[in-house]
Structure 1
Amino acid sequence: MITISIMAATLMQTLDSTIANVALPHMQGSLSASQDEITWVLTSYIVAAAIATPLTGWLSDRLSVKRLLAISIAGFTLASAFCGLSETLVQIVASRLLQGIFGASLVPLSQSILLDINPRDKQGQAMAVWGMGVMVGPILGPTLGGWLTDSYNWRWVFFINVPIGALALFGVLTFLPSRAPRHEVKFDAFGFVTLGLAIGAFQAMLDRGEQLDWFGSLEIRIEAIVAALAFLYFLAHTATAGPRSFFRYALLKDRNFATGACFIFVIGAVMYATRALLPPMLQNLMGYPVATTGLVTAPSGAGTMLAMLLAGRLLKRIDARVLLLSGFLISAFALWQMMQYTVVLSVSDIVWPGLIQGFGLGLVFVPLSALTFSTLAPELRADGTATYSLMRNIGSSIGISVIQTLMTRNTQVAHANLAANVSVFNPAMQSLLASGSRLQLALLNQSINQQASMIAYLNDFKVMFVATLLVVPLILLIKPTRQVSDDAVAHAAMD
């Protein structure tokens, strides 16, 4: 019953990583938000989870695991209800921030509890069950989100968490044994606050920059200064605080870990940015129903799960760096396929690149975790796991913001370039302009808008394709190792 309860909580949290993506166009209309504003629904959740995740260990010591898990489930469930009841963009972004804060502890706590309640000879099976549960959420998310939005409305994407959360909370309070808090671990509040402030201000700058003309705006300049100063204070504090620091400087001395952190940053940016781009493209440009959008984007998660299961077996026979290289090249090939998209696409044109990209990323996760933590000292693994997760989340939020900013700007540039050809000096346009038909001109403008948006999407896929290839040479910096970490599958499932 403990396993069922905590897996329900974990599933609820992992579902929210993808379930809202397909509903974004519907939220955009309902909340009167622009295309770049509606992505705040995704980035606010990711940033809040990134900042709050490192607090898990300290809070579990101060409050006890059971109490922290109960508070996290209750808070996440209540925040989900607030998301569904939101009437404005400000309300839903604030609710998503709460979701991220409360949901940050659910996955690491569930893994820790499963290890605690199972004997050592059963821990491998427990991690397999936990890993499958973690992977099922992102796979079901697009399909379930599409069905709920199509059959009811986008608010049920969040309301679905309420019954699941209530059952999980009841199970935890009823069956999970209580343990006294330890109050032993000291928390570096200054390091946490400065890093959180730096990440928050930088994310706000990225999210608001396109609307406010970047550094032409006083707000953007203030956010940039706050982010820079906070990060400088964080670096200075980290360098002088020693072992009491929120961030363990010794982690950077491990070449494999430092390289792996760079890899997971890029993976987070590419993976989440792709998932944020495809649903609006399919629904707004190509007229796909939201339920169909969910179905055609779900195979990406299935490809990831299949590759992770395969990679776990291959690691014992093949150099992890070879698997890593293969995964990145497969992912790059999928992005190259997406660069060939046109405004007319069949279902297979969407499904296969998504499945291939998911497979490539899944092939990266397990060997990357194995290589990243293989040379790390045991006493640094807890901090390493938190930092690894933090880098993935920061990469995801920055990736979504940057790609959406490029999308908005490139659409305007492409529209201006295409509209420049609508002139009396263009022989192909002379008869149309001479007729003066408003209907024909409106249809022409609609076609230009569609083509401009398509060009912008293709440019975004090209940026992600280039970023994926540029990170590949970093594999040369990773030390080869014949020992595969026993925690590799667990770490990979967390990502």
Structure 2
Amino acid sequence: MAKAPVQAVSAPALVVKHKGLLTGALMLATIMQVLDTTIANVALPHMAASLGAAQNEITWVLTSYIVAAAIATPLTGWVSDRVGQKRLFLIAVIGFTVASALCGIASSLPEMVLFRIMQGIFGAVIAPLAQTVLLNINPKERIGQAMAVYGMGIMVAPIIGPTLGGWLTESFDWRWVFLINLPVGGMAVAMLVAFMPETEIRQRRFDFFGFGMLALGVGALQLMLDRGADNAWFTATETWIELGLVITGLWVFVVHCLTAENPFIDLRLFKDRNFALGSALMFIVGITLFSGLALLPPLLQSLMGYPVLLSSVIMAPRGVATLLSMVVVGRLIGRVDARILMLFGIACMAYSLYGMTSFNLQMDYWPVIITGCIQGFGMGFLFVPLQTLAFATIAPRFRADATSMFALVRNMGQGVGISLVTAVLANMMQVNHAELAERITATSQNVMNQMPALLTGNPVTVSIVNSLVTQQSAMLAYLDDFWLMLLLSLGAVPLILLLRGPKKPDKPLTEEEKALERAHAMAE
């Protein structure tokens, strides 16, 4: 009977010295790690030439990092409890920085893949642990502002990654894409040593079977999503094997966690309505955010003929708009219902995606910049309130596990989104090409009037017409993807409406409630 009032009471924020400097250190490390999810993309052709790798082999530089990070992310909660948050954060940042240096001096593809795996393992801990620390050091009424700061790193870094990577590659060398992490990592380590407090160590038994099943499912999913397009998806035996491993691993993991005495992840955290709905929303955000980042560079470079660096610059205002919106949301989050802010964010995203469905090959770059700014601005209004509501009612003892699962869901959304739009793009290019080609026939009045040389089978004319048809079919396929992203964004609206609104501020704790809270913490 004594537990009821305790569960209604939120744990007090951890008192630290120089909270601002500690927050800066956490975000410095987070931005460094998140940047590496996209900064290396534009440097892949240069890496392939330098390392003597084929084009289909060099993609393992990305795949190895993604798979390693996906498998290691769920470990964050257990390891942080066993070794302490400060020690784990320092190990992660130092390990990530060292692995970055090794990537920068790699002389062969196997070395690069090995060092990228190291980066993924160490880097997987940084973002969820930084979020956990921010939740712990800020009182409930300032969690919105803390999540706004956190969102700046998580959302803006992937957007500016290609721009920074393109500039470093063009101006210096592809190795600086990794070597730039050395001074950043060193500064973050120094600040963490000085300002991050020690935390209590909890002895948690490690569930090897549960972790193994989750790692199997998540790792197989990432491999399937990354290699599916190259393997022609479900026409290949490999894809079916990977799908079987995904279903088996995740199914057994869920059943095991629901029945084991000490599971690897306590699935009771998903009983929290806001966290469960927030995770579903974060999955959709992962799809829409990273799908756009994956679609625009090839659209700008391959179809519109912009060089790599200029296309990166054209996408940069999107990140600036996201940064601006998060500053605004940080000030509004305690005054305006978070669900209203999220609906405004979805409306901005939907409007921008609707504008992107009107893209054409004759336009200049301004429609890309304008729609990108609107979408980036909307992302800030969606991400910050989502983070705030999702963790508003999570018990402090579940925070490390919850942040790691939230990061895992976001990364899975990223993988699913990129694979989905890539598959739709490839399929619709073929469909559109066939439909357009059917209209160019010998009996077509337009062909007889405007392209009579096509009727004679002139090879030059046929080649030119086929090139134009291919261009137009590709443009239409991109528009189909933008329509798909628009529908996915609108599909998030019912989930937002199901979220519980913010509660009234808690009354000051009585002495009896404080005593019960301390007793409950000791029992845990």
Task: Please indicate, yes or no, whether the TM-score normalized by the shorter chain is above 0.5.
Answer: yes
2:204 to 185, 193, 204: 185
Residue aligning to 2:513:
none
Residue aligning to 1:417:
435
SS in 2 for 1:344: coil
1:475 to 496, 500, 524: 496
Query: How far, CA to CA, are the matches of 2:471 and 2:398 in structure 1?
Result: 51
In structure 2, do the counterparts of structure 1 residues 210 and 287 end up closer, same or farther at CA, with 3 Å as the change threshold?
A: same
Residue aligning to 1:137:
157
Q: Describe the superposition over 1:217-265 as per-residue Cα deviations: whole angstroms up to 9, x where unpaired.
A: 22222112111111121121011014x2222222232222211111111
- How big is the shift at 1:393? 1.3
Asked if the contact 1:22–1:294 (Cα under 8 Å) also holds between the matched residues in 2, the reply is: no
Residue aligning to 2:257:
238
- How big is the shift at 1:432? 2.5
Alignment of 1:262-411 (within 5 A): 262-411=280-429
In structure 2, do the counterparts of structure 1 residues 141 and 223 end up closer, same or farther at CA, with 3 Å as the change threshold?
A: closer
Query: How far, CA to CA, are the matches of 1:114 and 1:384 in structure 2?
Result: 13
Alignment of 1:18-57 (within 5 A): 18-23=38-43, 32-33=54-55, 45-57=65-77
Question: Does residue 1:258 correspond to 2:282, yes or no?
Answer: no
1:204 to 223, 229, 233: 223
Q: Describe the superposition over 1:428-459 as per-residue Cα deviations: whole angstroms up to 9, x where unpaired.
A: 16622345543333332322222222122111
Query: How far, CA to CA, are the matches of 1:461 and 1:120 in structure 2?
Result: 38
Query: How far, CA to CA, are the matches of 2:135 and 2:441 in structure 1?
Result: 69
Q: Describe the superposition over 1:446-492 as per-residue Cα deviations: whole angstroms up to 9, x where unpaired.
A: 2222222212211111111111111211223222233489xxxxxxx
In structure 2, do the counterparts of structure 1 residues 5 and 479 end up closer, same or farther at CA, with 3 Å as the change threshold?
A: closer
Asked if the contact 2:257–2:266 (Cα under 8 Å) also holds between the matched residues in 1, the reply is: yes
Asked if the contact 1:70–1:172 (Cα under 8 Å) also holds between the matched residues in 2, the reply is: no
State the percentage of identical aligned residues.
Answer: 47
Moved more, 387-396 or 351-360: 387-396
SS in 1 for 2:492: helix
In structure 2, do the counterparts of structure 1 residues 85 and 77 end up closer, same or farther at CA, with 3 Å as the change threshold?
A: same
Query: How far, CA to CA, are the matches of 1:25 and 1:455 in structure 2?
Result: 27
In structure 2, do the counterparts of structure 1 residues 381 and 10 end up closer, same or farther at CA, with 3 Å as the change threshold?
A: closer
Asked if the contact 2:148–2:384 (Cα under 8 Å) also holds between the matched residues in 1, the reply is: no
In structure 2, do the counterparts of structure 1 residues 314 and 178 end up closer, same or farther at CA, with 3 Å as the change threshold?
A: closer
- How big is the shift at 1:287? 1.3
Residue aligning to 2:167:
147
- How big is the shift at 1:198? 0.6
Question: Does residue 1:456 correspond to 2:477, yes or no?
Answer: yes
Query: How far, CA to CA, are the matches of 1:289 and 1:76 in structure 2?
Result: 31
- How big is the shift at 1:345? 2.9
SS in 1 for 2:400: helix
Residue type at the aligned position of 1:237: H
- How big is the shift at 1:23? 4.5
- How big is the shift at 1:91? 6.6
Asked if the contact 1:139–1:299 (Cα under 8 Å) also holds between the matched residues in 2, the reply is: no
Query: How far, CA to CA, are the matches of 2:327 and 2:192 in structure 1?
Result: 33
Residue type at the aligned position of 1:384: A
Asked if the contact 1:23–1:290 (Cα under 8 Å) also holds between the matched residues in 2, the reply is: no
Query: How far, CA to CA, are the matches of 1:87 and 1:426 in structure 2?
Result: 57
2:238 to 219, 236, 250: 219
Asked if the contact 2:128–2:407 (Cα under 8 Å) also holds between the matched residues in 1, the reply is: no
Residue type at the aligned position of 2:164: L
Moved more, 368-377 or 259-268: 368-377
Query: How far, CA to CA, are the matches of 1:122 and 1:473 in structure 2?
Result: 27
Asked if the contact 1:66–1:172 (Cα under 8 Å) also holds between the matched residues in 2, the reply is: no
- How big is the shift at 1:268? 0.8
Query: How far, CA to CA, are the matches of 1:288 and 1:484 in structure 2?
Result: 52
Residue aligning to 1:492:
none
Asked if the contact 2:129–2:404 (Cα under 8 Å) also holds between the matched residues in 1, the reply is: no
- How big is the shift at 1:426? 3.8
Residue type at the aligned position of 2:126: L
TM-score scaled by structure 2?
Answer: 0.79
Query: How far, CA to CA, are the matches of 2:376 and 2:136 in structure 1?
Result: 32
SS in 1 for 2:32: helix
Unaligned runs of 5+ in 2: 1-17, 507-524
Unaligned runs of 5+ in 1: 486-495
Residue aligning to 2:510:
none
Residue type at the aligned position of 1:261: S
Query: How far, CA to CA, are the matches of 1:139 and 1:219 in structure 2?
Result: 32
Residue aligning to 1:75:
95
Asked if the contact 2:143–2:388 (Cα under 8 Å) also holds between the matched residues in 1, the reply is: no
In structure 2, do the counterparts of structure 1 residues 483 and 191 end up closer, same or farther at CA, with 3 Å as the change threshold?
A: farther
In structure 2, do the counterparts of structure 1 residues 357 and 122 end up closer, same or farther at CA, with 3 Å as the change threshold?
A: closer
Q: Describe the superposition over 1:152-209 as per-residue Cα deviations: whole angstroms up to 9, x where unpaired.
A: 354432332244335555x379757896994612222221221121111122223333
Residue type at the aligned position of 2:434: A
In structure 2, do the counterparts of structure 1 residues 165 and 376 end up closer, same or farther at CA, with 3 Å as the change threshold?
A: closer
Q: Describe the superposition over 1:395-448 as per-residue Cα deviations: whole angstroms up to 9, x where unpaired.
A: 111111121122222222222333344444445166223455433333323222
Asked if the contact 1:7–1:133 (Cα under 8 Å) also holds between the matched residues in 2, the reply is: yes
Asked if the contact 2:151–2:326 (Cα under 8 Å) also holds between the matched residues in 1, the reply is: no
Residue type at the aligned position of 1:150: E
Query: How far, CA to CA, are the matches of 2:225 and 2:101 in structure 1?
Result: 28
Question: Does residue 1:12 correspond to 2:12, yes or no?
Answer: no
Query: How far, CA to CA, are the matches of 2:102 and 2:437 in structure 1?
Result: 43
Query: How far, CA to CA, are the matches of 1:395 and 1:378 in structure 2?
Result: 26
Residue aligning to 1:493:
none
Residue type at the aligned position of 2:55: A
Asked if the contact 2:323–2:380 (Cα under 8 Å) also holds between the matched residues in 1, the reply is: yes
Residue type at the aligned position of 2:239: I
What is the root-mean-square deviation of aligned Cα atoms in Å? 3.7
Q: Describe the superposition over 1:8-62 as per-residue Cα deviations: whole angstroms up to 9, x where unpaired.
A: 433321322442355567668885436xx88765565444333322322332344
Residue type at the aligned position of 2:224: M
Residue aligning to 2:463:
442
Query: How far, CA to CA, are the matches of 2:134 and 2:270 in structure 1?
Result: 30
Query: How far, CA to CA, are the matches of 1:420 and 1:90 in structure 2?
Result: 47
